[in-house]
Amino acid sequence: MTNKSGKHLILIIDDEEALRDGCSQVLEKAGYAVLTAEQGIEGIKLAREHLPDMAFIDLKMPNISGMEIIEILSRDIPDIVLVMITGFATIVSAVEAMQKGAYDYLPKPFNPDQLRVLAKRGLEHRNLKIETKRLRVEKDLMERNFITFVSHEMRSPLVVIRQYIEALNEIAGDRFDKDVKEIIDRCRKRIQNLEELVEHWLDISRIEDGTFAQQKVSLSLDSIISRSVEEMIPLCRKRGISLETNIPQKLPQITGDAESLVRVFTNIIGNATKYTPEGGKITVTCQHDEFYINVSIADTGMGIPPDKLSLIFEPFFRCGEKNEKHSGSGLGLTFCKKIMESHKGCIAVSSKEGEGTTFVLTFPSQIDPERKFSGTIS
Ligand SMILES: Nc1ncnc2c1ncn2[C@@H]1O[C@H](COP(=O)(O)OP(=O)(O)O)[C@@H](O)[C@H]1O
Ligand SMILES: [Mg+2]
């Protein structure tokens, strides 16, 4: 932001008159508008009134310290760039000032060049920050518009096409020969995949904007795991993979939404079935201490190459080739990660190519105030 004259406005708060005058002269000559204040309270008042782009603040002043002023201004004036002037530039005070919101510090004595360079750099930093913020707002808006577009312009026609195909099958299914039936069946499957992709995509955006319906209640993970395993057993059988669980009897409660957690587990177990060859094994194991519950889902499948490991939670990322046996949207793990985050938990992965992959889900457990701490996650 610039003042009425189109110049950047800089405020100097320092109790030393010579320093204020010297800085004003240098900065005005460099093309900035300058305001000065002799002490902190006056400086804060001026800043609130004129909203400067940048302020140089002396650390040591009577009444109110530079550190307190930095704290107040960084809270009150968005995007202001604050620099602390210090007579004794200790690392400790510089670090503290940065933690309170300062951009940099300027040790005394300094020369005009140092002041000019810092003012220029600080204001450039401010411009970049403002630009980044603007772009972020724009990106959020575009994403939101895109989501509306996806849900209205893509989802609705897909549903209609699926219904037409179903109707076609009902009305004339018995008149079609085998080839036609096969083509129609392929269309139906492709449309189903597309519908699933759109649904996943919408779910992820809903989690991001906080409109994804979740009913968080106190629940036990063993019931969630049992439900998920039961759901996945038929698929495992079909693919010739064994599914084993190893869950302790009494697990601490967690706070969570059962439906979305079942989806997390079925997604991860589903992946394990997709990327594990026939004869393989999936093991679900659970461990806990007083604070966390870890659930690991390990498979004996093809594994994930080390360079791809950090990418698998990214939307639409898939390690496999397009002609891979099993289709997918590349959104499953993005969904799982977001749901885990919304449960204040996390998801981690480790893998060895050709040996298998293990996903570990960590949940914070509800802490029972009566219980004494007795152990760690091994
Ligand atoms: N258990 C696993 N074993 C090997 N690779 C996996 C496993 N789970 C996930 N992946 C890899 O991570 C990618 C992203 O997973 P996901 O987001 O669920 O997408 P999708 O399953 O739709 O491809 C998968 O395409 C696959 O390459
Ligand atoms: Mg998947």
Cα–Cα distance measured from residue 175 to residue 364, given in angstroms and rounded to the nearest whole number: 58
pLDDT of residue 3: 60
Nearest residue (CA) to ligand 1, atom 27:
319
The residues near 179 (Cβ < 8 Å, ≥ 6 apart) are none
Nearest residue (CA) to ligand 1, atom 10:
271
The whole-angstrom distance between residue 44's C-alpha and the CA centroid of its chain comes to: 35
Residue among 193, 309, 312 to mutate when testing ligand 1 (max atoms within 8 A of CB): 312
- Given its phi and psi angles, is residue 240 left (phi above 0), alpha (psi -120 to 50 degrees) or beta? left
pLDDT of residue 357: 98
- The alpha carbon of 302 and the centre of ligand 2 are apart by a number of angstroms equal to 15
pLDDT of residue 304: 96
- The alpha carbon of 267 and the centre of ligand 1 are apart by a number of angstroms equal to 9
pLDDT of residue 378: 44
Residue among 200, 263, 275, 282 to mutate when testing ligand 1 (max atoms within 8 A of CB): 275
CA torsion 358-363-368-374 (nearest 10°) is: 30
Per-block average pLDDT, block size 10, for the chain (378 residues)? 77 95 97 96 95 94 89 93 83 84 91 96 96 92 82 87 92 90 91 89 87 93 96 96 94 95 98 96 95 97 95 91 72 96 96 97 84 50
CATH fourth-level superfamily of 217-364: Histidine kinase-like ATPase, C-terminal domain (3.30.565.10)
Helical residues (DSSP H) of 177-220, grouped into ranges: 178-209
Structure tokens at 219: 């629940």
Helical residues (DSSP H) of the chain, grouped into ranges: 17-29, 40-50, 66-76, 91-99, 112-149, 156-172, 178-209, 221-238, 258-274, 332-342
Cα–Cα separations (whole angstroms), residue 173 to 25, 84, 164, 179 = 88, 79, 12, 12
- Given its phi and psi angles, is residue 279 left (phi above 0), alpha (psi -120 to 50 degrees) or beta? left
CATH fourth-level superfamily of 9-110: Response regulator (3.40.50.2300)
